[in-house]
Amino acid sequence: MTKIKICGLKREEDILYVNELQPDYVGFVFTKSTRQIDKYKAKELIDILDKNIKKVGVFLNNSFEQVNEIAKYCDLDILQFHGDESPMYCNQFDYEIWKAFRIRDETSLKELESYPVKGFLLDTFVKGQYGGTGKIFNWDIVSDINKDKFVILAGGLKCENIKKAIKTVKPHVVDLSSGVEVNGVKNFEKIKKIIESVRG
């Protein structure tokens, strides 16, 4: 069964939504973004988050010390790296690591081989951006990748295309952010619809 991650939570309402709807993972963005949150606010939200939901911290080219400090303070379960972090950098942490890769074409997949990480987050390549673009890539490129890798599919997923995405890629996790928002904030009905769609 494909699991669900709702990323970019920053309000108390967002936490109330997910506590009721029970996605498998939620993400907190600790890097420059419209969904950025600081560790103090994140901890406040995490304190009221249902304990069954796993907490993912999203980072981009941060120092090892900075990531570790936030991860401990917020009691994160998983660290997700979206920048130019090297395999060696990813290997230093005592946490489950998900590394994001921006997929442009088949050659983009070569990079995955050198990373000793648990999760491979596949997002859309957009020049000059590290993710969060809300655009999809050609899923056929990665249709066989789940056989030997733990795949998290991101990039432009929403209710209208989620079933096709799951059928094509068979990811272990689908990662949604803008696809469950209205005017830049998380929307209860959209999250509910996605979860029903994936689990239905």
Catalytic residue among 14, 24, 123, 175, which?
123
pLDDT tens-digit series, residues 60-94: 999 999 999 999 999 999 999 999 999 999 999 99
Is residue 111 a part of any domain in this protein?
yes
160 within some domain: yes
Q: Assess whether 123 carries a catalytic annotation.
A: yes
pLDDT band at 125; cut points 50, 70, 90: confident
Encode pLDDT of 97-120 as tens digits.
999 999 999 989 999 999 999 999
Check which CATH number belongs to the domain holding 169 and give it: 3.20.20.70
Distance of CA 56 to the CA centre of its chain: 7
- Give the residue numbers spanning the domain of 7: 3-194
Catalytic annotation present for 14: no
Number of separate domains in the chain: 1
Would you say 169 and 144 are in contact if contact means Cβ atoms under 8 Å apart?
no
Question: Quick check: pTM over 0.85?
Answer: yes
Given the residues 7, 24, 74, 175, select the one marked as catalytic.
7
Q: Is 199 a member of any domain?
A: no
pLDDT, position 132: 62
C-alpha 23/C-alpha 17 separation (Å) is 10
Look at residue 200 and tell me if it is in a domain: no
The answer to the question of residue 33 being in a domain is yes
DSSP for 89-158, written as a single string: HHTT-SSEEEEEEEESSGGGGGGGGG---SEEEEEE-BTTB-S-------GGGGTTGGGTSEEEE-SS--
149 in any annotated domain: yes
